[in-house]
Structure 1
């Protein structure tokens, strides 16, 4: 079984799925996160513009940055990465077994999106740093 989740941006949004199908299936909810990103891009064009400019704005999942911290590196959720790809109008392309680092164009913070939840749940909260 592949660990890579890929879905074309041209694929229509899914409807009629229950919570288990949306969040507990093999994609671990990444398809739903990307779909939410696509919907938010329509409702919040400024947010989509920020993402297209390479910024990592604060979203509903760990990974966004509102300002630079003393430590210029942090971890984020793969769900953030999936939603960010949707906001950018990109295909969903996330590997459930690999980390992926992105640098925020606005703050220069490096965020490593990881499948290891302990890495981003155990870091100091942004407000406390």
Structure 2
């Protein structure tokens, strides 16, 4: 059983860790996803993404969990990696229980996204349910 992950916004972004530790360490990359969100929030080309997150929207990003439009089925699953990234975009402390699900409603679309550690729930979603779109239309590629 892994304890909840917490990292304060006041802690510096790690610069000396190797790839294996960042992505395959005990936190399974959640801290790196959060740090990426913090960095993206400062980038001019990601300003709209960060602004949307601050408004409570769940904008499409590199991990499953973002929504670009309202679907017939108003619920979907997203990854904890997206949740960590979203917290970073919002300049929030990282606070995730890696063994629990968290549901957030997108203020723009009304879609409810349940962020889950259970990857089988993500793989069971049909492509029609996936609001991320495709790469040609500005969405992310299929994957986690």
Structure-to-structure mapping, 1:90-105, within 5 angstroms: 90-105=92-107
How many correspondences in the alignment?
Answer: 128
The reply to whether residue 6 of structure 1 matches residue 9 of structure 2 is no
In the alignment, structure 2 segments of 5+ residues that lack a partner are 135-144
- What residue is the counterpart of 1:41 in the other structure? 41
CA-based RMSD: 1.3
Structure-1-length-normalised TM-score: 0.95
Distance in 2 separating the partners of 1:113 and 1:8: 21
Structure-2-length-normalised TM-score: 0.85
Distance in 1 separating the partners of 2:41 and 2:23: 21
**How far did 1:47 drift?**
1.3
In the alignment, structure 1 segments of 5+ residues that lack a partner are none
- What residue is the counterpart of 1:51 in the other structure? 53
Q: Deviations over 1:7-62 (max 9, x none)?
A: 00111000121121001111110000000000100012221110010000000000
Query: Residue 113 of structure 1: SS of its match in structure 2?
Result: strand
After TM superposition, which residue ranges in structure 1, 4 or more long, deviate above 2 angstroms? 125-128
Structure-to-structure mapping, 1:103-118, within 5 angstroms: 103-118=105-120
- What residue is the counterpart of 1:20 in the other structure? 20
The answer to whether the 8 A contact 2:31-2:84 is kept is yes
- What residue is the counterpart of 2:86 in the other structure? 84
